[in-house]
Amino acid sequence: MSAEVRTVAVGLVGARGYVGAELIRLIDRHPVFELAYVGSRELAGQRVADHHPDCRSELRYTAPDLDELPQLQADAVVLALPNGMAGAAVSAFDRVGAAPVIVDLSADYRFDAAWHYGLPELDRSGHAGQRRISNPGCYATAMQLAIAPMLGLLAGPVQCFGVSGWSGAGTSPSDRSNPAKLRDNLMPYSLAGHVHEREVAHRLGQAIEFMPHVAPHFRGLTVTANLHLTSPVSLDAVLERYRQRYAEEPLVRVLDDAPWVSCIAGRHHVEIGGHTLDASGQRLVVVATLDNLLKGAATQALQNLNLAFGLDEWLGIPLNVDGDAD
């Protein structure tokens, strides 16, 4: 790292959740970013290190009112709030003309043309210097990366069957975050019109039919995408499209076999594989897995922060050959 690179102060709002915990760890270890404040009403006053023993920061959780956020003067703010709550925080900065980099992890700005949609692997151009960044959804990331190499060859809607660990439901109590109810079970929900279905259709300009489910495991998701093609293709041609598209992407790995969700937990990349054609050559099935808390949220937020401040996109993200987990 160049000695000329200054420290960048990053504030976290809504840091009690599972994604907030991952962001604390990533930012605490980052060579340029440092935690400016960590917001959580439930944990206010408690030491961050008491909840994250490997955290070097001496900060305590705080609970500032949203109107107080601009006064904290962080260079960047990550909003890890439930859907529908980001607007009040953004308005607090707008009212006083403050302009930190804001990365919103909710769905609130994913359809707003004034915000940059931060899926670097598919749209890196124009990313540097962005001040308002909407972090893609976890399922939406997996679906887009699984489908994108075949755009232009698709006929009709793409069907996506998704299964996620229960951490994707957040920390608020519900059937979808209740391990006892999920034991030996697979729980379907929002089988038509899910926000990630609309998000992917909006971003790719492609009709999507998404059917999500929750499983008993804690973290990691898998998407099986069923793509109908306009003309027959060979499996070699399909694999070449995927390998060329992601050849320079360290956080996307194209596999020969179908990826297992158990192998992606705790890792920062996406795995895409299991490419299968039917006898006609016009129906392709592809499987994508990622950790919903990392590449589906926190790791992607770190990519977006790095790009916003002109840093190496993968700075602070483990890129081990045999696995990303520390």
Give every CB contact of residue 69 below 8 A, 6+ residues apart in sequence. 11, 13, 77, 89, 92, 93
- Are 23 and 35 in contact by the 8 Å Cβ rule? The answer is no
Distances (CA, A) of 2 to 5, 6, 233: 6, 9, 48
| Annotated catalytic residue 138 | yes
Q: Which two tokens stand for residue 237?
A: 């041609």
Residue with tokens 């960047």: 76
- Are 301 and 135 in contact by the 8 Å Cβ rule? The answer is yes
Q: Which amino acid is at 165?
A: G
Name the active-site residue from 55, 138, 160, 263. Answer: 138
Q: Which amino acid is at 129?
A: G
Distances (CA, A) of 21 to 17, 56, 262, 298: 6, 14, 20, 9
Query: Which of 49, 44, 40, 46 is CA-nearest to residue 19?
Result: 40
Q: What is the DSSP string of 160-212?
A: EEEEE-GGGG-SS--GGG-HHHHTT--EE---SS-HHHHHHHHHHTS-EEEEE
Query: Which of 107, 224, 106, 209 is CA-nearest to residue 163?
Result: 224
E strand spans, 202-242: 208-214, 221-228
Instruction: List active site positions.
Output: 138
